[in-house]
């Protein structure tokens, strides 16, 4: 890659990094649900999390 | 160069006309009709050699053609094919003798589409060594030894300033400093040194106004300039400046994204105390532009795990960011595994009044866990900078690798190729 192309590539990369930082992007998988009734605040157990019902091995070291 | 009428003689073998363009410099000339080599040094033209090859070779640059190389116009007056045989292998190249009445003789050589403009030198180079290799110093440059061979003249056409003969052989040695090459030719105790400069086929075609386009060059020639020469330093310099800019960006976001704490509290969870472990936190304010939110979980787990379902809920709009994190920490005499803490970054959260819904889970029979939740707004995500730094490395590393590959391919053809160990062949 010659120098001008590298400069363009680098500028785009830094620009994208800046946008990602400014917008607060993340690598993490987040499930965004748009609407939730206000009653959840009074009855948190009524909400079913997308990640609920967790089952894992019982073990470890 | 003014148009000069070529002198003409008759071939004593076939009687055909033979043009002389090199004036008094011409010592031998080849009859274009019968390919007899004639001695042109005396008015009584004598036959030097009557038989060459049954096959005629047509020079790519027709003899008599004129071309401008640099600021000098030359006329192609002689052509020879030189051949090298090494065991079962043999290869050949073409040499054109160029003449200008004021500048004298030059040569143009061609091998597999690679061209060189050659000037015979009068000064002698100095033998030296460079990077452990035999080398020659000439004109302030160091030329590395590339190869040596015995070349035989296989075919001649036109005229020459020496008594040319098919079958005559010379011992050649090449030293390279791309795009230049220094060559020696030794025969009968005489050594001639010449300096060649690499030319592209298109330059030769343009100089001699040859029809069509030049055939493509195959392989990498000894003194072919690397397309990556000079680009490595420039590439790494650009990389350095881009990294300075990246560091500036990191500093900028450390200033404008300080990661202010928006919420923090301590909790405890005991499995089986109550069937519904979900609860919500008090509301807290997330200010400013759309930005990320970092939630950290710090626990006192010991050889156990806990799983947390989280929902970050906007109190006004009901917009929910749903996520979960496992925290597990185990240890024994061999070491430890996992961590008591975990962190998640929620992307692009608009400003507003929020609360967290938390639902911890643990294995049945586990002791209780105490944990702290800390939520920070607008934190720098250093992972992006690390990825950008890695991606910035690709172009200079690629350029360095390609230059290395080009040079390796060049030196594979050399008698002085670096030794390769572990090969089967």
B255-309 per-position pLDDT tens digit: 988 888 999 999 999 876 666 688 999 999 999 888 999 999 999 999 999 999 9
Taking only the tens place, the pLDDT of each residue in B106-140 is 999 999 999 999 999 999 999 998 878 899 999 99
pLDDT digits (tens, 9 = 90+) for A20-54: 999 888 887 787 776 777 777 777 777 777 666 55
Same-domain status, B197 and B266: no
CB atoms within 10 A of CB B249: 19
Best of B381, B385, B391, B402 to disrupt the A interface (most A CBs within 10 Å) is B381
Concatenated DSSP letters for B84-129?
EEETTEEEEEEEEEEEETTTEEEEEEEETTEEEEEEEESSPPEEEE
Residue B420 has pLDDT above 70, yes or no: no
For chain B, the domain total comes to: 2
Assess whether pLDDT exceeds 70 at residue A16.
yes
Q: Is residue B361 part of a domain?
A: yes
Q: Do B274 and B184 reside in the same domain of the chain?
A: no
Residue B404 domain-assigned (yes or no): no
- Which chain A residues are Cβ-neighbours of B337 within 8 angstroms? 60-61
Question: pLDDT at position B144, please?
Answer: 95
User: Across residues B15-24, what is the average pLDDT?
Assistant: 78
Give the chain B residue whose CA is nearest to the CA of A14. Answer: B246
Q: Beta-strand (E) ranges in B202-351?
A: 260-269, 279-280, 284-286, 291-299, 304-314, 320-332, 335-339, 341-349
ipTM, two decimals, is 0.79
In a domain, B335, yes or no: yes
- Are residues B324 and B196 part of one domain? no
Asked whether the beta carbons of residue B345 and residue A49 sit closer than 8 angstroms, the reply is no
Res. B98: pLDDT tops 60: yes
**Considering B172, B207, B242, which residue would you say is the last residue of a domain?**
B207
- The verdict on B128 and B50 lying in the same domain is yes
Query: Could you tell me if B70 and B184 lie in one domain?
Result: yes
With cut-offs at 50, 70 and 90, classify the pLDDT of residue B423. very low
Q: Containing domain of residue B363, as a range?
A: 258-378
Interface test with A, best of B311, B336, B340, B387 (most A CBs within 10 A): B311
pLDDT, residue B47, reads 75
Ranking A51-60, B62-71, B336-345 by mean pLDDT, the lowest is: A51-60
Q: What is the pLDDT of residue B425?
A: 41
Within this chain, do residues B130 and B278 fall inside the same structural domain, yes or no?
no
| B374 shares a domain with B289 | yes
Q: Are residues B196 and B313 in the same domain?
A: no
In a domain, B76, yes or no: yes
Q: How many CB atoms lie within 10 A of CB B97?
A: 27
Tell whether B192 and B303 lie within a shared domain: no
| B207, B222, B248 - which closes a domain | B207
Of A10, A21, A45, the CB nearest to B380: A21
Tokens at B62, concatenated: 């027709």
User: What value, to the nearest 5°, has the Cα angle with vertex B381 and ends B379 and B386?
Assistant: 155
């Amino acid at each position: 890659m010659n120098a001008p192309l590298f400069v363009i590539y680098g500028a785009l990369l830094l620009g994208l990094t800046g946008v990602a930082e400014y917008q607060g992007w993340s690598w993490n998988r987040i499930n965004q649900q748009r609407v939730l009734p206000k009653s959840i605040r009074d009855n948190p157990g009524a909400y079913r999390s997308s990640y609920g019902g967790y089952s894992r091995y019982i073990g470890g070291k | 160069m003014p148009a000069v009428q070529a002198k003409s003689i008759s071939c004593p073998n076939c009687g055909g006309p033979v043009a002389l363009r090199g004036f008094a410099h011409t010592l031998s000339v080849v009859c274009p009709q019968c390919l007899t080599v004639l001695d042109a040094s005396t008015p009584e033209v004598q036959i030097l050699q009557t038989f060459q090859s049954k096959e005629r070779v047509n020079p790519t640059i027709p003899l008599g053609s004129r071309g401008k190389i640099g600021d000098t116009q030359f006329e192609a007056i002689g052509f020879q094919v030189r051949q090298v045989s090494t065991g079962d292998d043999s290869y050949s190249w073409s040499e054109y003798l160029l003449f200008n009445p004021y500048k004298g003789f030059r040569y143009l050589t061609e091998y597999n589409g690679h061209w060189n403009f050659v000037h015979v030198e009068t000064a002698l180079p100095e033998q030296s060594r460079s990077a452990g290799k035999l080398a020659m110093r000439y004109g302030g440059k160091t030329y590395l030894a590339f190869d040596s061979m015995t070349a035989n003249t296989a075919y001649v056409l036109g005229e020459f300033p020496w008594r040319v003969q098919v079958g005559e052989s010379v011992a050649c040695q090449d030293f390279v400093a791309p795009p230049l090459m220094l060559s020696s030719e030794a025969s009968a105790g005489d050594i001639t040194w010449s300096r060649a400069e690499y030319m592209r086929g298109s330059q030769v075609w343009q100089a001699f106004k040859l029809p069509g386009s030049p055939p493509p060059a195959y392989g990498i020639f000894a003194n072919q300039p690397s397309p990556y020469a000079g680009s490595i330093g420039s590439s790494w310099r650009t990389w350095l400046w881009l990294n300075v800019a990246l560091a500036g960006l990191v500093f900028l976001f450390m200033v404008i994204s300080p990661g202010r704490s928006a919420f923090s509290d301590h909790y405890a969870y005991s499995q089986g105390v109550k069937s519904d472990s979900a609860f919500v936190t008090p509301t807290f304010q997330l200010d400013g532009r759309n930005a990320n939110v970092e939630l950290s979980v710090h626990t006192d787990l010991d050889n156990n795990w806990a799983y947390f379902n989280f929902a970050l809920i906007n109190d006004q709009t009901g917009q929910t960011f749903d996520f979960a994190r496992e925290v597990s920490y185990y240890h024994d005499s061999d070491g430890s595994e996992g961590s008591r803490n975990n962190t998640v970054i929620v992307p692009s959260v608009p400003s507003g009044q929020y609360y967290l819904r938390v639902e911890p889970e643990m294995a049945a029979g586990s002791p209780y866990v105490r944990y702290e939740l800390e939520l920070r707004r607008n934190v720098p995500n250093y992972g992006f900078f690390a990825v950008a730094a890695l991606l910035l490395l690709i172009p200079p590393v690629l350029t360095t690798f390609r230059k290395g590959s080009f040079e390796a391919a060049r030196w594979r053809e050399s008698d002085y190729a670096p030794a390769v160990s572990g090969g089967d062949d």
